[in-house]
Chain A
Amino acid sequence: MRRIAFLVAGLGLLMSNGVGAATLSLLNASYDPTRELYREINPAFAQAWKARTGDDVTINQSHGGSGKQARSVIDGLEADVVTLALAYDIDNIARRAKLLPANWQTRLPANATPYYSTVVFLVRKGNPKAIRDWDDLARKGVKVITPNPKTSGGARWNFLAAWGYGQKTYGSPAAAEAFVKRVFANVPVLDSGARGATVNFAERGLGDVLVTWENEALLATRELGADRFEIIMPSVSIRAEPPVALVDKVVDKRGTRAVAEAYLQFLYSAPAQEIAAAKGYRPRDPAVLARYRARFPRVPLFEIDRNFGGWTKAHKLFFSDGGVFDRIYAGDE
């Protein structure tokens, strides 16, 4: 009985918070690895907003797989801003639910990506299998851990980076496909998400090399011990751009456009860029990037628009049903 009383009291508290107080609130629908990032950015923004306008603002976070989050927004989750892993997912919100204009990516600087990352290798301390570059992932006897590109946004960046290397090194798309096929023949487990793959590699001792976002690799070495893993930067990688966008229909309905716009612009400001860099994301601000240069080595990067013709095209070619990824597994029937 008492437990029910508590529950009712708790519920009442929640409701009075939402209705009674004059504070603004925003909902940021984001993907999985940004938990740690926004946990620090949100209070910083709230403070800056209070200093500028005198209003209180609370930012609620929702995290999940990037595609799943996009689907929730399409299905009616009232997110004022979305900060997802792929432009493809936000494109779909624009195309299917028309909640924001199709040109959303031009409304903010740098492709609407205030921070970016790249794909690196995480290996066990001492690099026992001597993994230096993408070629080593296709070697016999090397076990590669990467999530399933069909279900994980991060895995799609991994796949495209490997494919880009294959094409650059071996010349033709067909040769590139053969190369990624050899790499995926070395993959013992296809996790559904990036975090799951990290856990399998780091905690379960599975595989020799984890292909992952740089920020995830930095987090893994920081949280799980720098004495256990090493980060290897391949000779070439991809610019992984997790974009952000205002959801116009939602902010207009909720009357939060001003604060939501300020929130997204804040992501480009020096304090937010500093937090992003500290959390392992490459900042856009050259001054901040220069200060963290030791952590983010220079490396040639493929770009989704320049090298792959944008996400819509890349997705259709590589990850749709019967696409390149399905083809490299079709031989296993």
Chain B
Amino acid sequence: MPKGVLQRRRSIIPGFGLTMGITIFALSVIVLIPLSAVFVTTAGMSFDEFVAAALSKRALSAYRLSFGAAAVAAAVNAVFGLLTAWVLVRYEFTGKRVVSALVDLPFALPTAVAGIALTALYAPNGWIGRWLAPLGVDIAFTPRGVVVALIFVGLPFVVRTVEPVLADLGADVEEAAATLGASRRQTFVRVILPAIAPALVTGCALAFARAVGEYGSVIFIAGNMPFRSEIAPLLIVVQLEQFNTAGATAIAATMLVISFALLFAINLLQVWQRRLRSA
């Protein structure tokens, strides 16, 4: 953007001033002002206090778990979400609408319900947990449980962003690739994947972002042991529980900055990739 963000490029569609004004106003009220309140609250702290609250060893291990588990969950969802989208777009089968509705369920379900249900399933005496426990694999009350919960809440993001792109792609592209002698593998890797990659990355980024801040479902399955299975949002709640709003916002601000940096990087990556392809 060479001339500044708000610079208007000549467009035949009128109403730029009005729509931009509304956009900025809405963004400010809904996103920017609440977020800036976080930073204003931390501004009341001295630098040392901020570092003590936001960068304590316990907080660092919580960030590691929150961002690490969210990344693993996003990666798992990239594979299974793509597969699910593929099945929903390319095949006709009875009950397809039901499956499609099921995919959206994690959007609608209160996350606490999801957490309780997953804990009941994966606890050592649960339906799934009781088969895994003898093998020495504990899911509930370990960091693995955190990943399971985050996969659950993140799945629809990947499916719903990839699905329309996949549908647009159409079977004719694949047929063309096949007539030109491409193997199935080549068709997937060189034709389909590049076309849906931006959507896939967006979906993963959304799933990741959602997972980083997830509290409701994780809290039941995590076990919440300091330095082991304690997520960063829990530390925020711990600080609030001590009426230490500044400490809580210090951790929140740190998470915000990391999340923003990661999402911004992903966006840049996509822009770069798009340029590479159109060049």
Contact = CB atoms under 8 A, between A and B. Distances in A.
Q: Quick one: which of B53, B125, B225 has the most chain A CB within 10 A?
A: B225
Interface in B206-254: 219-220, 223-228, 234, 237-238, 240-244, 247
Given A151-B237, A192-B234, A206-B123, A71 B220 contact: no
Contact of A204 (B119, B227, B241): B119
A259 interface: no
A148 interface: yes
B141 interface: yes
Interface string B53-82: 100111001000000000000000000000
Contact of A321 (B119, B234, B247): B247
Contacts of B203: none
A189 B124 contact: no
A188 B240 CA distance: 24
Contacts of B140: 204
Interface in A232-276: none
Contacts of A332: 225-228
A92 B53 CA distance: 21
A204 B125 contact: yes
Given A151-B237, A333-B57, A71 B243 contact: yes
A235 B24 CA distance: 65
Interface string A191-231: 11000100010011110000000000000000000000000
B247 A192 contact: no
Contact of B124 (A67, A92, A206, A326): A206
A150 B53 CA distance: 15
A329 interface: yes
Given A71-B240, A71-B243, A204-B126, A191 B224 contact: yes
A320 interface: yes
A308 to B, nearest CB: 17
Q: Give the interface size bracket for A toward B.
A: 20 to 34
Interface in B22-78: 52-53, 56-58, 61
Nearest to A332: B227
Contacts of B247: 321
A243 to B, nearest CB: 17
Nearest to A148: B224
A96 B243 contact: yes
Interface residues of B, number: 31
Interface string B112-134: 00000001100111100000000
A329 B224 CA distance: 12
A109 to B, nearest CB: 28
Contact of B141 (A188, A192, A329): A188
Nearest to A192: B219
B165 to A, nearest CB: 33
B224 A190 contact: yes
A311 interface: no
Interface in A53-73: 65, 67-68, 70-71
Nearest to B60: A333
Contacts of B240: 67-68, 71
B141 A189 contact: yes
B101 to A, nearest CB: 18
Contact of B123 (A92, A204, A326): A204
Contacts of A320: 242
A326 B56 CA distance: 12
Q: Quick one: which of B61, B227, B242 has the most chain A CB within 10 A?
A: B242
B224 A204 contact: no
Contact of B238 (A150, A189, A200, A204): A150
Interface string A171-201: 0000000000000000011111000100010
Interface string B240-277: 11111001000000000000000000000000000000
A292 interface: no
B275 to A, nearest CB: 45
Q: Quick one: which of B53, B226, B241 has the most chain A CB within 10 A?
A: B241
26 contacts: A67-B241, A74-B243, A148-B224, A150-B238, A150-B242, A151-B234, A151-B238, A188-B223, A189-B225, A190-B225, A190-B226, A191-B224, A192-B237, A204-B123, A205-B124, A205-B125, A206-B141, A319-B242, A321-B53, A321-B247, A326-B226, A329-B58, A329-B227, A332-B225, A332-B226, A333-B61
Interface of A: 65, 67-68, 70-71, 74, 92, 96, 148, 150-151, 188-192, 196, 200, 203-206, 315, 319-321, 326, 329, 332-333
Given A204-B140, A329-B227, 4 more contacts: A192-B237, A204-B124, A205-B124, A315-B242
Interface of B: 52-53, 56-58, 61, 119-120, 123-126, 140-141, 219-220, 223-228, 234, 237-238, 240-244, 247
